[in-house]
């Protein structure tokens, strides 16, 4: 089975993330969306909310699993037997950042990183932009899956 891990904080999941996951399930037998837990970061949405947004968005897709993890991504890949790390690239800055991580991960393990370019219509969306729109009471619904809601 070809299993890919798609790691991130998903605070919140965006249409860009959604697109990468949808395209990833065409390439892999299973895509594990892994929400990283980082006690040093403060999040807009709780871990439970973030996990719920993703589970609801993919409730009808059996090839998508949603989990949480702590520590190094490559260590978690070994725990769940994922042979690949899936990452989306929006721009050249993303590429440079992700390339360094991918080289490091491959140096430390045998896990390959697979990059997918974001769709043109979602390439400008980031979780930080979504959070800013939410903080300023803007219409964020055009940037995220329907499952993302603010109470």
Residue positions annotated with a catalytic role: 17, 41, 90, 127
**Per-position DSSP letters for 74-136, written without gaps between them:** HHHHHHHT--EEEEEE-SHHHHHHHHHHHHHHHHHSSPEEEEEEPPGGGTT--HHHHHHHHHT
> Which 3-state string (H, E, C) describes 64-84?
EEEEEECCCHHHHHHHHCCCE
The CA distances from residue 74 to 9, 20, 36, 77, 85, in Å, are: 16, 20, 12, 5, 8
């Amino acid at each position: 089975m070809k299993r890919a891990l798609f790691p991130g904080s998903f605070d919140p999941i965006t249409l860009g993330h959604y697109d990468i996951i949808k395209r990833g399930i065409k390439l892999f037998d299973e895509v594990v969306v892994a929400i990283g837990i980082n006690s040093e970061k403060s999040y807009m949405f709780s871990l439970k909310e973030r996990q719920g947004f993703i589970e609801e968005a993919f409730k009808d897709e059996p090839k998508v699993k949603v989990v949480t993890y702590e520590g190094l991504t490559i260590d978690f890949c070994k725990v769940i037997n994922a042979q690949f790390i899936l990452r989306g690239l929006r721009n050249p800055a993303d590429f440079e950042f992700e390339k360094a991580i991918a080289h490091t991960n491959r140096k430390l393990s045998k896990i390959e990183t697979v990059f997918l370019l974001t769709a043109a219509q979602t390439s400008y969306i980031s979780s930080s932009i979504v959070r800013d729109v939410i903080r300023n009471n803007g219409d964020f619904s055009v940037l995220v899956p329907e499952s993302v809601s603010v109470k």
